[in-house]
Amino acid sequence: MKAVIVCVSVSHGSTRHVADTMAQVLGAKVVRPEEADLVELAGADLVGFGSGVFYGRLHPRLTDFVRALPARPGRAFVFATSGLPEMPLAPFTRPLVQLLRGKGFEVDGRFSCRAFDTWTPFKVVGGINKQRPNDGDLAAAQAFAEHLRNRERPVA
Ligand SMILES: Cc1cc2nc3c(=O)[nH]c(=O)nc-3n(C[C@H](O)[C@H](O)[C@H](O)COP(=O)(O)O)c2cc1C
């Protein structure tokens, strides 16, 4: 399976850590949006898109990248790290999932976990979730990627 993960991780490298864990399972290359090769992306069986959450949204470098992608069918997944827990009815990943579906992608899964957060309100206490993503988070990311790998469609 050819897999590529497009990741924006600007704060503490937490999303990149999660991306690298998933990439090991999927044999995927991890790239920033600016490094992504559109031909390679078009040829991939699975493309992952992930970033930290900033002011309630995934990073604009990631969403702008997806917005500019040509419409085409494909298989994708979305992931995020955030300081605060997601609201089950309004996950942080939802707008990007909708954007990808609008581009013709089948979105096969979404993953999120908590991570170290030094956003201003939490700076005074030295940040929250200092040890995260932890072993449990990375094990969950690995299991998520294994599930994606095992659901790979058989070659027609
Ligand atoms: C300026 C700023 C804004 C943030 N806004 C949010 C937010 O709205 N909700 C949230 O849960 N976490 C928020 N965070 C925490 C980040 O989502 C979290 O630290 C994330 O793991 C960063 O990922 P990265 O290290 O891969 O960049 C914010 C962090 C910063 C620095």
- Could you report the per-residue pLDDT of 88-127, keeping only the tens digit for each? 899 999 999 999 999 999 999 999 999 999 998 888 888 9
| Pocket mutation for ligand 1, best pick of 7, 32, 54, 94 (most atoms within 8 Å of C-beta) | 54
Q: Is-above-0.85 flag for pTM? A: yes
Could you tell me how many helices (H) and strands (E) the chain has, helices first? 6, 6
Distance 66 CA to ligand 1 centre (A): 20
Distance 134 CA to ligand 1 centre (A): 16
Question: What is the b/e burial string over 106-129, where b = at least 16 CB atoms within 10 angstroms of the residue's CB?
Answer: ebebbbbbbbbbbbeeeeeeeebb
| pLDDT 10s digits, 40-63 | 999 999 999 999 999 999 999 999
Distance 67 CA to ligand 1 centre (A): 21
Pocket of ligand 1 (CB under 6 A): 9-16, 52-56, 81-84, 115-117, 119
Distance 153 CA to ligand 1 centre (A): 34
3-state secondary structure of 51: strand
